[in-house]
Structure formats: C-alpha cells, structure tokens
Structure 1
Amino acid sequence: MSVTVGIVRFPGTNCDLDTLDALTELGARTVLLHSDETSLGSVDAVVIPGGFAHGDYLRTGAIARFSPIMDAVASFASAGGPIVGICNGFQVLTEAGLLPGALRPNAGLSFLCQPQQVVMASVNHVLGHGLSTSEVLHIPINHFEGNYVCDRLTLQRLREKGQVVMRYVGNPNGSLDDIAGICNEMGNVVGLMPHPERATSELLGSTDGCRLLEALLEAAASTRRVVDGRTA
C-alpha cells in the first residue's frame, strides 16, 4: 500500500528536499507542507526535517512551535499518526511539548558534521519495524544543538517505558545517557538527531537510513489500514 508523507517546511528548513527524495525513492508519495498552513490534508505520516527553522533565533525550534501547522501536527499526534522529527525537527518537537526534554548546544560548543554510529535501544516505535535492539547503524549527524537534556525523573521514565530510541556509540555532543533519539509513550512520535535521509546510498557511506525510513512507511501503512477499517 502506497502512503503519503507530509514534509513540514519552516523558513530556514534546508533538508526538506533531501527527505522528500529519499522517501520518494522508497515508494512513498510526498507532499511539502508550509508552516503557515492549518491542515495536513490526507497524509499518512509527517516528517519535520532538519535545517534552521526561523534561523534558530530566540531558541532553536521555539518560534517554529507557534507556526499554524503545529496545531495540526499536534492533533495528528494525538490521533496516533506517525511523526518523525529529524535534527531541527527533533528540536521543534521538544519545544512543542510533543516530546520531553530539550536540546542544547553541543559539549565544547562545536558544530558537528560527521559519520556516526548509533545503537538501537528500542524498537517499539514508528522507526523500529524490521530492526532489533542493540543493532548498530551508521547514520551521519549535522548539528550544533544536539545535546539532549532532561530532568532525572524524565530520564527514569524514558528508560522504564522504553522511550529511548537510539544511543550514540562514542557520545559526540554530551547528550545525557548518550541519547540520540527518543519517542513518546505511544511510540508514534519520534525525534532523532542523526539524519537518515543522508544515509540512503553507498555513495553517501551507508544505506542504514533506508531501514529507518522504510520502518516509518510501514508504520504509516499500518496506521492507514486501521483507519480504513482493513485490520482489527
């Protein structure tokens, strides 16, 4: 079943077309959604891609979270719709309260753009289909504010409820508990700092990103089947 993925574009987003191309290559229909729109239309999944929403002014993602499209994104999340925020998109999701915690500047205040190994910490989420825990993936990072932080009780809940999606191998940015990605309790909203759309070809150094994006498409298809009444 072909699914439609909406890709949200804010002023300053710069990974939208990379994400669109990667998902299209995997067989998805894609549509770009501007931040001033108030509806997602009939999409089956949403991706908030990387970039520098609103120039990262004030605080990364803090302005983007007030964009009209985010009300529709929040409603889609509440209904169980699959949502993935990549890098800047992860930051937006935390600012919007759709994921706990926050992203702050990297340890050492260095911008990081490099290949990165991550290990899957859980698979009970929309990026987990076909993957197993403890599996190592090669997914590049490209960020200045990827240092994940949260309070002690939040970290305890993330661990207990299996909401840590992936951890860094050799923590590059100082993230608490080596966290590279998390999900909400339902598992339908995921935020991650690594860029799977940049790991879709051996020419790019890895195809491991395809596995995460394929898992998203499978989650979208499964959700669609339930909505359409085709499964119990």
Structure 2
Amino acid sequence: MEAVSALRSKVTDAAGVNKKIYCSLLMDEISIRQHVEWDGTKFSGYIDFGGEVKYDDDDSKIATQALVIMVNAVNGHWKVPIGYFLTNGLNSSDRANLVNESLILLHENGVEVVSLTFDGTSTNIAMANVLGANMNFCSLITKFKHPVSKSDVHILLDACHMLKLIRNCLASKGSFVDQNGRLIKWDYIVRLERYQREEGLVAATKLRRRHIQ
C-alpha cells in the first residue's frame, strides 16, 4: 500500500533525528455521481470498502458518496490520504469502525494520532459517541481512548462546516438569544447585504448575496 510506505518513510526519517510522528486524523465525505460500469472483468460503482474491511451491504448498493480518510502531520508539513471508501448512507457504528481500523493501522506503522476532525453532521456526532466521546453539550466529553495505546484522541469539529451549520440554523429559526438576553436576528444580515448592494460598498465581513440565499 503506497500510503503506508510513505508513512513508514516519514516515521523512519523522524526516528533518525530522535523524533516521533504525531498526526491528526481527518475524514470527510464527498458526493459522487451514481454510475455502474463493467470493465470486462468486474462491475464498479457499487459500495466498496476494499478487501480488508467488511460491510454488510458491500456490493449490493450503488455508491453515492466517497468517504476519504487522511492524516495531517502535527509536527511536520505533510499530509497523506490513507484510504477512501465508496458508501451509501454509512451509519455511525460503521464510521466508528473505520476510524478505529485507521487508528490501529497508523499505530502499527509508528504514527501517533492525537486528534480526529470531521464535519458536524448528525451521523458524525453519533459516531463520536460510539467511539466513547459525549457530544451532548450538557455533559461534553470531546475525546475518546485510542483502541491500542489507550491515549486520548481529541475531537475537533471542522470550524468552517460548523459556521455554515450555525448560519443555516439562524436562517431557519430567524433569531437567536445570546447569554445576555440580546436578540441576534437573521434579518440583520439580510439587511446588511442589501445595504451593501444599494451603496456599492462591501464591508470587511465579505458578505455576499450567495451567503444568504
């Protein structure tokens, strides 16, 4: 596996200068076009988790997303994708299994993972709970134990995606109330964007019409 070879090379280079490799594990899902194709020997386009990872519905459904898992060096300047999986509605337990398998693989090759980053979708939040964290804001625990080393793996929700979720929630609800009882209204943002267009000026917030549509 080319990714594993690249990681081993990084670990060997680091060991040569008495360093240990620390990484953040990143995962994200992208939509793909649904398409089944025959190449003369086999069909492609269905759910595919590779030869070593088993999944109940493997090969039975057409894939709609690709789940990509990557490591990003914390004490270095490199990143390596370690795998991708063609999925169709992957649940929280299966996601947690993929995370644990990734952590085990990386540990076996000398890479210490200190954090896990993902989008704040409901399935990913449920996955974090399966892993051993608690994403309920009333009893928040933003870490879980590594399946091998038992060290803490800290959860970092993707900041850009969380901002989009907050924006969408504010647009849907219409208003929030802050800790001091002051009203935060979506209409303020709509009016600011309209004012910018009418005056021909753009504030430092870089607010555009596409952000409120």
Q: What is the TM-score normalised by the length of structure 2? A: 0.24
Q: What is the TM-score normalised by the length of structure 1? A: 0.23
| Higher Rg of the two aligned structures | 2
Higher relative contact order (CA 8 A, sep 6+): 1
